[in-house]
Amino acid sequence: MQPTPYVVRRHTVSSKIAIVVAILLLLAIPTMPFWASSGHIRLVVELSCLIAIAQMWNLLAGYGGMVSVGQQAFIGAGGYSLFALSAFAGLNPFWSVPLAMILPALLAAPSYLLLRKLDGPYFAIGTWVLAETFRLITGNLDVLNAGSGMTLRAMSQFSAHQREVGLTILCSLLLLATIGGTFLMLRSRLGLALTAMRDDAVSAASQGVNVGRMRFWIFVVAAMGTGLAGAVYYMAQLRISPGSGFDPYWSSICIFIVMVGGIGRLEGPIIGALIYFFATRLFGEYGATYLIVLGILTLIVALFAPGGLWSLLSKVRDWPWFPVGHRLERRAEAP
Amino acid sequence: MKWVDAVVQGLLLGSLYAQYAIGMSLMFGVMRIVNIAHGDLVVLLALIGISIAAVLGLGPGFIVLLLVPIGAAVGWILQRGILNWAVGEDPLPSLIATFGLSLALQNFMLTVWQADTRSLDAGALTTRSVELMGIHVGVLPLLIAVVAVVLTWSLHMALKTTKFGRALRAAAADSVAATISGVNTKAIYAQATAIAVAVLGIAAVFQATRTTVSPSDGGAQLIYAFEAVIIGGMGSIWGAFVGGLILGVAQVVGSRIDPGWGILIGHLVFLLVLAWRPQGLLSRR
Amino acid sequence: MNAGPLLSARGLNAGYGDFQALFDVDFHIAAGEVVALIGANGAGKSTMLKTFVGLVPVRGGTVTFDGIDVSQTPAHALAVQGLAMVPEGRRLFRGMTVEDNLRVAADHARHLPADDRPWTLERLYDLFPILAERRGQAVEKLSGGQQQMVAIGRALMMQPKVLLCDEISLGLAPKVIGEIYAMLPAIRQSGTAILLVEQDVTLATRSSDRVCCLLEGRIVLTGRSSELSRETIAKAYFGVGHEVG
């Protein structure tokens, strides 16, 4: 029997390059305290948090089919967990960051069960109500200093350099967990189910995918990832308040980043985050006008280019960074 | 007596929420579109009304007469210009699109009107009150309640008995079948949105006379409208009305228990209804 | 009164997206005529009806209705001009009563010349007495056959010049199918032309004046129903002697 002339490959040239670059970057970030300025380190931390939060929103909306305008609920929950664990349990804040994922998970489970009865767009507003509920409760709890917010005093026991080392390591871990975790998940059989669900939930269900249960887990995992990012972000800020941690503007950022970058693909949120990040650095001074432009761009992309920048680019050249698909290639001819 | 008073005040507040909610119910029930900028439209119309009043020196009565056609025009343009591109099976585009619109609109209003809070002077109407069965009820809140009932009843009857109402319900049930039965669905949607936003024009005047208005208020109004629709039951205009009343009562009673808790209690009642009877209180399902 | 065809197509090409469904179709139907459209699944019968009614875009060729080129006319306007369809699967307005379903069509009906006898609710209830009993009920509560009657009634309320019926026998018991098809002569008597898409070839030839057979988007046979033999029809239907590709 002749071997078939075709072979199934997962990697492409572009994806091999991209993976190598990604690993190098992840290893490079924790070295920054030794050669980069504090200002640059703060920028990298902020960018990493944006990418992580956006990836989680992408997981929810692009793969789970659940649009949320209330992820700030978990950003605040993650941030406050960190501050509370540090202030009341006396734990080392760096170790508290991973622990800060617990509260978001615990909040996400009942939240999903409540909200799943709502139709798509109403589900979205429901997530916003949830975020507002958390904000109001937090703002009313005197133990958390109510509306004034909390400070991460425990960090003062570390030198600036030590804080930066800890923060950058956490940054890399954050990116590894969110991007890396999603990538590995998508490559697996779970990923096939997820992609099927993304493309057509009813058909996926008919093929045996338990859509309800998957959505539940996606919601919880996304909440955990978002909470982790929130903890890292507010660790860098050293201060948190209900108005900031639960700010609805977080959702505006997520939506802009994922829609403009490209929903339903891993590459999209990274591109979108870079665009948002640099655009805000360059045009943020224009305040309200800049935000008008962001809003209009989101509107236009949603109506006329719903796949975002990545899908437009893919039409020109298909160079994926993350090899989640399978390709059929001609086997090289035997000599 | 204190609690009866709280409930009455709550019903009156709730009838304003009902005015926000019936427009939202109409748009979602018919077109399966939730307009995230719904609350921002109320604020926009209120600010326009306040500015016109300041420039032309008109009273609230005249402002209402102006805002209804202005609201209708805004709604019509919104539908034809933006939302018609998003009507279809997938609710995601209209959700994200109106989310972007909301962000842009809020900041546009901030640019034009600044962050100051403003209100509309209704003169004597704001302070007059009548006594009903031992409770002091403000004339303005009472007017809001009466208007809410009239609007809800009118909309309900229009949907049930008029040619427009039938065409709208048909387009909502099956837009292709409606098209081959002669209904111009795009035009019908634009008319429905025009009506929904015209109603918001009336609500906007009431909101502006009752309290102060600022450009970032939109989000809260959207949430109240949404909670009212869900509590009462989707697909029902009277449901949206009743849901608004319940929400109003929850908020006022909550604020009497503790001033910081009013809105939170409203959210909790909403979550309770969601847990216990998610199809809504008035729904037949 | 126009003596020529009421509805005709010349070199019609139509399709959805990247897919072309109809190739170079020539067709005509005159007032009071009943034409049956037959063919295997996917041959393009439904698509042809949908193209006539304006739901599928015309890519090439023309569709002429009552002497006017309607290739680019929007669907709702065509309906008002008198081109009514009973769609596949009935597609009634759920949540609305029988009478409301009929009224929606009546609200947008064609304007009739003064001496034409219009289809009214009364006339309809005469034709389908069971609907009079159930006029206030929500349509989803009716049986399949009754729903089909409502669907036909809804199309008739548009005062159509041409009635397009897409698989009205689908999912119905034989007795019910018989009852429904027995209505057709009454409808044709008003001068309405009827174009039927029908899976059952025997039923199609028995109920029509002419038969048109489609294969892969092309018309491969047309002729008087009484004159075509079963063999001729079978050959056209299955494409024996027809080149594939």
Domains of chain C: 7-238 (3.40.50.300)
* C120-142 mean pLDDT: 89
Contact of C79 with chain B, judged by CB distance below 8 Å, is answered with yes
Mean pLDDT check: name the lowest of A201-215, A240-254, B219-233, C187-201: A201-215
User: What per-residue confidence (pLDDT) applies to C243?
Assistant: 53
Interface contact flag, A252 B103, Cβ < 8 Å: yes
Q: Which residue of B has its CA nearest to A247?
A: B219
Confidence at A18, pLDDT banded by 50, 70, 90: confident
- pLDDT tens for residues A105-120? 999 999 999 998 887 7
Domain spans of chain A, in order of start: 6-330
Residue-level pLDDT at A317 = 73
pLDDT, tens digit, for every residue of B126-161? 777 887 777 778 888 888 999 999 999 999 999 999
**C133 contacts C171 by C-beta, under 8 angstroms:** no
Q: What is the 3-state secondary structure (H, E, C) of C192-216?
A: CEEEEECCCHHHHHHHCCEEEEEEC
C-alpha distance from residue B14 to each of B85, B201, C54 (Å): 33, 17, 46
Q: Which of B163, B169, B185 sits opposite C93 (nearest CB)?
A: B169
> So what's the pLDDT on residue A11?
75
Pairing type for strands C34-39 and C210-215 reads parallel
Residue in chain B lying closest to C50 (CA): B180
Helix axes B38-56, B92-113, angle to 10 degrees: 30
**Cβ–Cβ gap B177/C92 under 8 Å:** yes
- pTM as predicted: 0.86
CB C14 within 8 A of CB C59: yes
Q: Going by C-beta distance under 8 Å and a sequence separation of 6 or more, which residues neighbour residue A240?
A: A76, A79, A80, A83, A149, A150, A152, A234
- Supply the DSSP symbol for B213: B
Q: Which amino acid is at A277?
A: F
C-alpha distance from C82 to closest chain B C-alpha (Å)? 10
Buried b (16+ CB within 10 A) or exposed e, C207-231: bbbbbbbbbbbbbbbbeebeebeee
Task: At C56, list the tokens.
Answer: 């599928």
User: How large a percentage of chain A has pLDDT more than 70?
Assistant: 95
Please tell me what DSSP assigns to residue B130.
E
C176 at B interface, C-beta within 8 A: no
- Asked whether the predicted pLDDT for residue A335 surpasses 50, the reply is no
Q: What is the pLDDT of residues C201-217, one digit of tens each?
A: 888 989 999 999 998 88
Q: Rounded to an integer, what distance in angstroms lies between the CA atom of residue C165 and that of residue C155? A: 9
When mean pLDDT is compared across A178-182, A331-335, B24-28, C61-65, the lowest value belongs to A331-335
Question: Are A302 and B267 inside 8 Å of each other by CB?
Answer: no
Residue A123 has pLDDT above 50, yes or no: yes
Could you tell me which chain B residue has the CA closest to the CA of A128? B223
Contacts of C76 in chain B (CB under 8 A): 179-180, 182-185
Q: Say whether pLDDT at A200 is over 80.
A: no
Question: Quick one: closest CA in A to B90, which residue?
Answer: A120
* Overall fold of domain A6-330: ABC transporter involved in vitamin B12 uptake, BtuC (1.10.3470)
**Contact residues on chain B for C75, CB-CB shorter than 8 A:** 179-180
Contacts of B77 in chain A (CB under 8 A): none
Q: Residue C37: its pLDDT value, please?
A: 93
Give A170-239 as a DSSP string: HHHHHHIIIIIHHHHHHHSHHHHHHHHHHH-HHHHHHTT--HHHHHHHHHHHHHHHHHHHHHHHHHHH-E
Separation between Cα atoms, residue B125 and residue A57, nearest integer Å: 48
Provide the H-helix boundaries in chain C. 45-53, 75-81, 98-107, 121-127, 129-133, 144-156, 174-189, 201-207, 230-238
Query: Quick check: A213 pLDDT over 90?
Result: no
Which residue in A has a C-alpha nearest to residue B88's C-alpha? A303
Beta strand C162-166 with A6-9 is: unpaired
From residue C236, alpha-carbon distances to B77, B239, C26 in Å are 53, 58, 16
A201: closest CA of chain B, how far (Å): 12
* Contacting residues for A119 by C-beta, under 8 A, at least 6 apart: B91, B234
Instruction: Give SS3 for C120.
Output: coil
Which one of B174, B181, B183 would you mutate to disrupt binding with C, by most C Cβ within 10 Å of its Cβ? B181
The DSSP output letter for A328 is E
What pLDDT was estimated at residue A189? 76
- Evaluate if residue A333 carries a pLDDT over 60: no
- Above pLDDT 70, what percent of chain C? 97
Q: How many residues does chain B have?
A: 285
Interchain contact, C158 vs B185, CB within 8 Å: no
Q: Is C124 on the interface with B (CB under 8 A)?
A: no
- Is residue B239 within 8 Å of residue B280, measured between CB atoms? yes
- Please say whether the beta carbons of B227 and B267 come within 8 A: yes
Q: Specify whether the CB–CB gap between C201 and C169 falls below 8 A.
A: no
Q: Is the pLDDT of residue A233 over 90?
A: yes
Q: Which of B101, B267, B275 lies nearest to residue A295, judging by beta carbons?
A: B101
Instruction: Judge whether C154 is closer than 8 Å to chain B, CB to CB.
Output: yes
Which residues have CB under 8 Å from A141's CB, separation 6+? none
**Which two three-digit tokens encode residue C163?**
């009635």
Look up residue B9 and give its two tokens: 């005040």
Nearest CA of chain C to the CA of B204: how many Å?
33
Q: What is the mean pLDDT of each run of 10 residues along chain B (285 residues)?
A: 84 94 86 87 94 86 90 93 80 87 94 85 74 79 92 93 94 92 92 94 91 90 93 87 95 90 93 86 72
- Nearest beta carbon to residue C104 from set B167, B176, B184: B167
Whether the predicted pLDDT of A2 surpasses 80: no
